[in-house]
A and B are shown apart, each in its own frame.
Chain A
């Protein structure tokens, strides 16, 4: 017979006892609500971290001379120290990579580091010179706060222009506007064409804000060095990072031996962090799943009470022609409905909660969490509804009718 009719019967029975139905659902509401909310915080956090990495460049590949990771992983090794002082990386390798892999690689930059004495008026300071190609601006998303980046033309012509990090600009110029002023680098005059936006400290790493940026060719010409520290390549698609790495290795491999250079990326680090966060999410979800279990037990408890309370009703229904299966279906559907409705309310609360959290925290309710919550609450209702429903179906009509 008509499950639909039994469905309506179950809904009516839930509505007849509104407050009790709500209290029964409460366990599932809290369970589903906390599972969804906590996993949404977890996945939100993962997305946030990935975003942060992306802003640093998850899609960025680095090429450095030698093997900075050493044979057994980890940094260092005399060999790499020696390698890094030799000008093994050549500008033309970079050009070849860009030219041969336009489908994989969007852009790139070349960097070289030098030390120089910077001087403006009476202030002088030992600074790190960061010689870059003009594409550095877009690849590193490093915009000019004041003035403008030197152009590719200025770079190729080896013009004597510099960009200043915010900190070095302040150190050298104080309150004075540095744009179009001239500073001395190792005694030679350079025109300040812009000041960069503040990047913030790099957790004890290099502070991009205290660098002086100058065109690569200018550095080659006036600092008497051909040494290149690294190539940076921006890959078009994060998923193609492995392919790109191989392509770069292949292109440069034609010119250099395998141990003379290394191509690496941040995916290793990123995947470690995301797997930790993933475990955290699963753990938090698991802990809150316990409350879902408790909610299920609550439903079973109330349904058992309900069966006892409605013994006479069950007896009557059986006397009037209800088969045991119909009674079973009625109570099972009632339990499942309680659980599913509770699950939906919990989901709504979790969704509102994640919206409220978004102001402070990157929470994200995923489709997966929704499906999981819905599925689990249905299963909880069915599993914990079985015992009471079976009890109801087994009742003898005579004893049930006689029950006081």
Chain B
């Protein structure tokens, strides 16, 4: 099992009220799976993504990545883990403004300890941008790129450290349908190449590209197409 969540809960305190965003979730993700997480807003799907991607600590339960218990990692350990094993694709791209596509893609390399002016790092980033079809836009800044192109830069960035799992949070949410299709195709291709992807979306047609759909409601798994099959 690549990623295994056992009885994971996450609670927030807002004022005096405790909100249980994730309520005793157990979920196993196999290698090369493509999972779509769906559900209404407030269902806990975003919290699930944050906890599963090591951005947030679970309040309860255990998480195993490649069989290693990582839920008790401290902040620094989780930083390193995210850097090396997790790829992030955000709804709003989150590229550094006034910074070239190439440099944006190299950002995870920088925190992995590469010298970003080294030829090796630049070559690697260039290859990733070519892979998402932006080989001719290396030096463009986000402001000079369309939404679809920006998201492709973000995908290249997510891939650069060859992560174990890619987490995508509404990757097409800020895009027109044409660009959305491009992104869907890229994600599909990546999965075909063997990448494990966990994607949060509320769009049915986007969720359809995933092989397994999980629906959340009130912090619990409402339905899991994967578990039905198995």
Whether chain B is bound by chain A comes out as: yes
B111 touches A319 (CB 8 A): no
Count of interface residues, chain A, beta-carbon cutoff 8 Å:
22
Known: A317-B107, A317-B111, A398-B50. A5 touches B116 (CB 8 A): yes
Q: How long is the Cα–Cα vector from A363 to B94 in the complex, in angstroms?
A: 54
> Do most interface residues of chain A lie in helix, strand or loop, or is the interface mixed?
helix
A320 touches B113 (CB 8 A): no
Known: A1-B113, A397-B55. A324 touches B96 (CB 8 A): no
A320 touches B82 (CB 8 A): yes
> Which residues of the partner chain A approach B79 to less than 8 Å between Cβ atoms?
318, 321-324
A310-363 interface with B by 8 A CB criterion: 312-313, 315-326
B111 touches A324 (CB 8 A): no
B83 touches A320 (CB 8 A): yes
Q: Which residue of A lies closest to B93 (CB)?
A: A316
Asked whether A282 is an interface residue with its Cβ less than 8 Å from the other chain, the reply is no
Asked whether A16 is an interface residue with its Cβ less than 8 Å from the other chain, the reply is yes
Asked whether B27 is an interface residue with its Cβ less than 8 Å from the other chain, the reply is no
B71-128 interface with A by 8 A CB criterion: 75-76, 79-80, 82-84, 88, 90, 94, 96, 98, 107-108, 110-113, 115-116
Asked whether B56 is an interface residue with its Cβ less than 8 Å from the other chain, the reply is yes
Known: A322-B79, A323-B79. A398 touches B94 (CB 8 A): no
Q: How long is the Cα–Cα vector from A1 to B113 in the complex, in angstroms?
A: 7
Q: How long is the Cα–Cα vector from A312 to B96 in the complex, in angstroms?
A: 9
CB distance from B172 to the nearest CB of A (A): 18
Q: How long is the Cα–Cα vector from A313 to B96 in the complex, in angstroms?
A: 7
B84 touches A321 (CB 8 A): yes
CB distance from A89 to the nearest CB of B (A): 81
B113-170 interface with A by 8 A CB criterion: 113, 115-116, 157
Q: How long is the Cα–Cα vector from A398 to B76 in the complex, in angstroms?
A: 15
> Which residues of the partner chain B approach A1 to less than 8 Å between Cβ atoms?
111, 113
Known: A398-B55, A398-B56. A322 touches B96 (CB 8 A): no
Residue in B84, B94, B98, B107 with the greatest tally of chain A CB atoms within 10 Å: B94
Which one of A2, A319, A320, A324 lies within 8 Å of B76 (CB-CB)? A324
A320 touches B88 (CB 8 A): yes
CB distance from A329 to the nearest CB of B (A): 12
Asked whether A11 is an interface residue with its Cβ less than 8 Å from the other chain, the reply is no
> Which residues of the partner chain B approach A179 to less than 8 Å between Cβ atoms?
none
Q: How long is the Cα–Cα vector from A323 to B75 in the complex, in angstroms?
A: 7
> Which residues of the partner chain A approach B113 to less than 8 Å between Cβ atoms?
1-2
> Which residues of the partner chain B approach A312 to less than 8 Å between Cβ atoms?
94
A320 touches B107 (CB 8 A): yes
Residue in B56, B96, B110, B112 with the greatest tally of chain A CB atoms within 10 Å: B110
B80 touches A321 (CB 8 A): yes
> Which residues of the partner chain A approach B94 to less than 8 Å between Cβ atoms?
312, 315-316, 319, 401
A16 touches B98 (CB 8 A): yes
CB distance from A203 to the nearest CB of B (A): 67
Q: How long is the Cα–Cα vector from A315 to B112 in the complex, in angstroms?
A: 17
Q: Which residue of A lies closest to B81 (CB)?
A: A321
Q: How long is the Cα–Cα vector from A312 to B93 in the complex, in angstroms?
A: 11
A5 touches B115 (CB 8 A): yes
Q: How long is the Cα–Cα vector from A335 to B50 in the complex, in angstroms?
A: 32
Which one of A313, A321, A397, A401 lies within 8 Å of B83 (CB-CB)? A321
Q: Which residue of B lies closest to A1 (CB)?
A: B113
A1-16 interface with B by 8 A CB criterion: 1-2, 5, 16
Q: How long is the Cα–Cα vector from A313 to B157 in the complex, in angstroms?
A: 14
CB distance from A214 to the nearest CB of B (A): 84
Task: Mark contacts of A136-147 with chain B using CB atoms, 8 A cut-off: 1 yes-contact digit, 0 otherwise.
Answer: 000000000000
A151-193 interface with B by 8 A CB criterion: none
> Which residues of the partner chain B approach A313 to less than 8 Å between Cβ atoms?
96
CB distance from A323 to the nearest CB of B (A): 4
Known: A398-B50, A401-B94. A323 touches B76 (CB 8 A): yes
Task: Mark contacts of B176-218 with chain A using CB atoms, 8 A cut-off: 1 yes-contact digit, 0 otherwise.
Answer: 0000000000000000000000000000000000000000000
Q: How long is the Cα–Cα vector from A319 to B92 in the complex, in angstroms?
A: 14
> Which residues of the partner chain A approach B115 to less than 8 Å between Cβ atoms?
2, 5
> Which residues of the partner chain B approach A324 to less than 8 Å between Cβ atoms?
75-76, 79
Q: Which residue of B lies closest to A318 (CB)?
A: B79
Task: Give 19 new A-B contacts, CB below 8 A, not counting A317-B107, A320-B107, A396-B56.
Answer: A2-B115, A16-B98, A316-B96, A317-B111, A319-B94, A320-B108, A321-B79, A321-B80, A321-B82, A321-B83, A321-B84, A321-B111, A323-B75, A323-B76, A324-B76, A326-B111, A397-B55, A401-B55, A401-B94
Query: Which positions in A face B, CB cutoff 8 Å?
Result: 1-2, 5, 16, 312-313, 315-326, 396-398, 401
23 CB < 8 A contacts A-B:
A5-B110, A5-B115, A5-B116, A313-B96, A316-B94, A316-B96, A316-B107, A317-B107, A318-B79, A319-B55, A319-B82, A319-B94, A320-B157, A321-B80, A321-B82, A321-B83, A321-B111, A324-B75, A324-B76, A324-B79, A398-B50, A401-B55, A401-B90
